[in-house]
Chain A
Amino acid sequence: MMNASAVADVERGVIHARIEIHAPPDAVFRALTDPRELAAWWGSADTYQTSDWRVDLRPGGRWSAAARRRNEERLTTVRGEYRVVDPPRVLEYTWEPSWEDFQQTLVRIELEATGAGTRMTVTHSGFGARAEGCRMHGEGWKLVLEWLAGHVSVAEAAS
C-alpha cells in the first residue's frame, strides 16, 4: 500500500526515491511549496519536526525552515535556494542543513500525472562531490566506493 521506494546510488552519490500518490500533480506541488502544508507533513515524530517555513517560490528565491530533532531542545535550520520552479511538474532546490555546516546538496522533484494520481520522483544528488571535496580528488572517490561496496558485500556474505 505505502509504495515508497528509495535507493542510494553510492558510486554516484545520488539517492533516487519514488512514490505514487492518489492526488493530482497540482495538489502535490502545492504540498511541496505551501508553508502551511509543508509544516503539516514534512518531518515525523521519530526523526524531526519542522516549523517556521519561509518560501520565496521563484528561481533564485530562498527557502528555509526550523527543524527540531527528536529528543533535542535545540532548533536547527534547513535552507536552500530554488533552482527550477515549474508547477506542477518540476521543483528543484538546494538543500543546506545547519547540522551539516550548510553543506549544499541538490534536490530535484518531478511530478507526472498518472491515471490514479501522481508519480513523484526525487533525485537527491551531490553527496559524491561533497565527499570528494572533503577527502579525495579526481577518480579517488569512485574507486574507493567501488572497493568499499566490495568490502560491504564481502562482510555481508561472511556474516
Chain B
Amino acid sequence: MSDPTRRAILDRLRSGGAPVAEIAAGFRMSRPAVSKHLRVLRQARLVREQRSGRQRIYRLEPAPLEGVLKWIESYRVFWQQALMNLKRHLERASGGEGDATPERGAAERPGSAEPTRASERRRGDE
C-alpha cells in the first residue's frame, strides 16, 4: 500500500473494473510492470481478477474492509440505542417523583417493579 503506483492503481479501479491494457495505458507503463503491481494487490486481497471472454478484468475487492465497516456500524447502532436507554432511564427516574431527584428513582431498588415493567415493555417492542 505504501507504493504510490499501487495506490494510484487502486484509485483508478474505484471508478470500475478494467483490463491490464487499459490500466497500463492510463499510467504510461508497460503491461508487465502493471501486472506485477496487480499481483501484489491481489495477494493483499485488495484486488480480484475476473475473466471476461479472453480478457481479465481487475476489480477492487472490498470484502476485507467490509468487516471493519460492519464493526463501526454495529457500534453506531449500539450508541444510538444506549443513549436512548439512558434518556428513558433518567427521564423516568426524575419525572415519576414530581421533582428531579434521580437517586430516589427506579434504580434505587434493582428488584423493584419499575425495571421489570420496563424490560417487559422493551421485549414487547421487538
Chain A interfacial positions (CB closer than 8 Å to B): 2, 4-8, 10, 13, 15, 17-19, 21-24, 27-28, 30-32, 34, 36-37, 39-47, 120, 122, 124, 127, 131, 135-140, 143-148, 150-152
Contact = CB atoms under 8 A, between A and B. Distances in A.
Q: Tell me the dominant secondary structure on chain A's binding face.
A: mixed
Interface string B61-102: 010111011011101111111111111111101110000101
Contact of B85 (A42, A144, A145): A42
Given A19-B86, A22-B94, A39-B110, A27 B2 contact: no
A137 B95 CA distance: 51
A23 B83 contact: no
B76 A145 contact: no
6 contacts: A8-B76, A17-B80, A23-B100, A30-B102, A131-B65, A139-B1
B81 A44 contact: yes
Interface string B4-36: 000100110111000000000000000000000
A24 B100 CA distance: 8
Could you say which of B10, B68, B77 has the most chain A C-beta atoms within 10 Å of its C-beta? B68
B119 to A, nearest CB: 6
A45 B83 contact: no
A127 to B, nearest CB: 5
B87 A19 contact: yes
Nearest to B7: A143
B107 interface: yes
A5 to B, nearest CB: 7
A21 B68 contact: no
Contact of B73 (A4, A8, A136): A8
A18 B86 CA distance: 12
Contact of A28 (B69, B86, B115): B86
A127 B91 contact: no
Contacts of A4: 79-80, 83-84, 87
B18 to A, nearest CB: 14
B84 A47 contact: no
B87 A21 contact: yes
B117 interface: no
Given A5-B80, A139-B1, A143-B1, A13 B72 contact: yes
